[in-house]
Amino acid sequence: MRPNRTIRNRLLMFFILIMLITALTSVYSLFASLRLGGRVDQLTRTEVLMRNIRGQLSETKQALDNYLLLQHEENRKQVQRTTENLQALVVGRNTPYQSQEQLMVKDISFLIDKYTIQLNGVIEAKTIRDIMGYTEAYKSAELTASYINSYIDKVLIENLNRRTDAYRFLSESYKQVQLFNFYLVVTAILLTVLLIMLFTDSLTRPVVRLAHLAEEISRGNFEVADLQVKTNDEIGVTARAFNEMKNSIRRYVAQMQEKAQIEKNLAAQKVKNLEMQHLLKNAEMASLRSQMNPHFLFNSLNTGVQLAILEEADRTAEFMGNLASLFRHNVRRLWRSNTIDDELRGLHFYADLLRVRFATTYRIDLSIPKDLRQIRFPPLIFQPLVENSIIHGFEHKEGGGQVRVTGLKRNGKIVFSVKDDGSGMTQDEIAPALKPISFSDEDFSSRSGLGMRNVVLRLRLFFNRDDIVTIQSNLGEGTEILIELPEEEAEHV
């Protein structure tokens, strides 16, 4: 957008304004001094004129006396010259004016005319040697000259009075004028300085702010406020463009950051998927591998059960029947979700087997309310945990023990607990137990002591929560493994 008020125009206007103030002050000073000069000239003009007349009158008289004495033609010409000069001084002064002074000057001009005529009369009488005539004429001329001189005095006195009055008025008036001049100059200076300051400020402030903003942005901080410039000049346009640019960059950066986050999440998801796939693959392989033997083993067990029935070995038949059921339960696909109810069923088989297997009595209590039994759950979770308790919890404990598998709702969560009263764990043992098994673990294939970590990993992956399993245990006080999931995340079948 083309600015309406360009810096050039603003500068021009500003300079014109400053020049106007200065010019007004200067023109005023010139006017005042011219006026004063004119006044002084007017006041002294009459005095100068009167002096000239008096001087010229004296010269004329001198010339006349010389002529009368010597009667040289040169002297006559001198008289003529001086009278002409005298008359020239008062040329055009015959108009009456209202001023006394000018009226008297007019009188003088007429008297000079008369004097000139009388001088001519003297010269003429002298030329024809009319002694009486030129003596009379000379006396008359002298009288007229005395009138002129007397009038010159009066004019000078009148002039002096007028000058005194004028001077009094002028000095009185100019005192006030000087006071106002002082105000004028002071206000002109203050006004100019203030306007210069304001203008400079208005011109540089946005530029300075722009520079600061640019510096801030160059440091990577796009969260600065927009530059507020109200002017509509190039700086205003630049500021608005700068604001637009800053906001655009900020938007792009935000978009890029968002994109980067999405990509990061995507990459993490990919890694997770890869891990999952890897785990699946291994599980599948393990499953396939295990499916080979279980079928044979399962058939052999069934044959064994029939054989035991035929031989009437009922306990053997029951044991082998339970073992066969447990196998059947366990050979299902590991990654197919089942319910808590399925888990409990498997645990029953496992408990029956334990009773036959171990001479020591282990009591396994299963107490999960019915409303929690239909929750979708990964398979083979509780059995490894119970097995873990029996193998590790009661390893150094004589006289058997108790394992309680419970479920309840607490504080908006569903909590499953596998608790034993075995030898417990040290705090140092808890953390490694909770560390999920990784497919990169070298000992993964060995499957030694990894039941717990396998369970943890599968639970985390299934519910997509890292804090799903916690262990509470103290040495000698038993161990409780807690599986907590928010109620809203529990999926009922």
Partner 1 sequence: MYNKPVIRKIFVKSVIVLLAIVFLFSAFQSVRLILQDARRGRLYLSQSEPARYHFMVILPTIEDEFFQKMWEGIQEAAEELNVGVELQVPRNILELRSGTLELMEIARLSQVDGVALYVTNEEELKPAINRTVVSGIPVVTLESDAPMSRRSGFVGSNSFKLGQEIGRLMQAAQPEGAKAALLKNEYFSERASQWSIIQYGILTSLSSGSSHEIVTERKTQIGVLSSEEKSRQILYLNPEVNVIFCTSLVDTISAANVVAEFDKEDEIKLIGYGYNQEIARGLEAGYIYGTLVRDPKSIGERGLQALLGLNSNQYVPSFIYIPSQVLTGDTQ
Residues that bind partner 1 (CB under 8 A): 21, 24, 28, 31-32, 35, 39, 42-43, 45-46, 95-104, 106-107, 110-111, 114, 144, 147, 150-151, 162, 165-166, 169-170, 173-174, 176-177, 180-181, 183-184, 187-188, 190-191, 194-195, 198
Which whole-number Å values give the CA distances from 482 to 202, 349, 435, in the listed order?
A: 71, 23, 15
DSSP run (H or E) holding 102: helix 100-127
Shorter beta-carbon distance to partner 1: residue 201 or 395: 201
Shorter beta-carbon distance to partner 1: residue 107 or 387: 107
DSSP 229: -
Is the sign of the CA dihedral 325, 326, 329, 331 positive or negative? negative
Query: Are 217 and 243 spatial neighbours (Cβ–Cβ below 8 Å)?
Result: no
Supply 219's token pair.
């440091």
* Alpha-carbon span 224 to 99, nearest angstrom: 81
Length of the chain: 493
Shorter beta-carbon distance to partner 1: residue 194 or 262: 194
Shorter beta-carbon distance to partner 1: residue 140 or 337: 140
Query: Are 203 and 185 spatial neighbours (Cβ–Cβ below 8 Å)?
Result: no
Least separation, in Å, of the C-beta of 266 and partner 1?
Answer: 49
| 81 residue type, one letter | R
Shorter beta-carbon distance to partner 1: residue 106 or 250: 106
Least separation, in Å, of the C-beta of 152 and partner 1?
Answer: 12
Least separation, in Å, of the C-beta of 96 and partner 1?
Answer: 4
Least separation, in Å, of the C-beta of 206 and partner 1?
Answer: 14
Shorter beta-carbon distance to partner 1: residue 25 or 316: 25
Least separation, in Å, of the C-beta of 13 and partner 1?
Answer: 15
Least separation, in Å, of the C-beta of 142 and partner 1?
Answer: 13
Instruction: Match 């007229």 to its residue by tokens.
Output: 144
Strand ranges for 251-316 from DSSP E:
none
| 79 residue type, one letter | V
Least separation, in Å, of the C-beta of 59 and partner 1?
Answer: 22
Identify any residues that bridge with 473 across adjacent strands, giving them in sequence order: 479
* Alpha-carbon span 478 to 421, nearest angstrom: 4
Shorter beta-carbon distance to partner 1: residue 191 or 391: 191
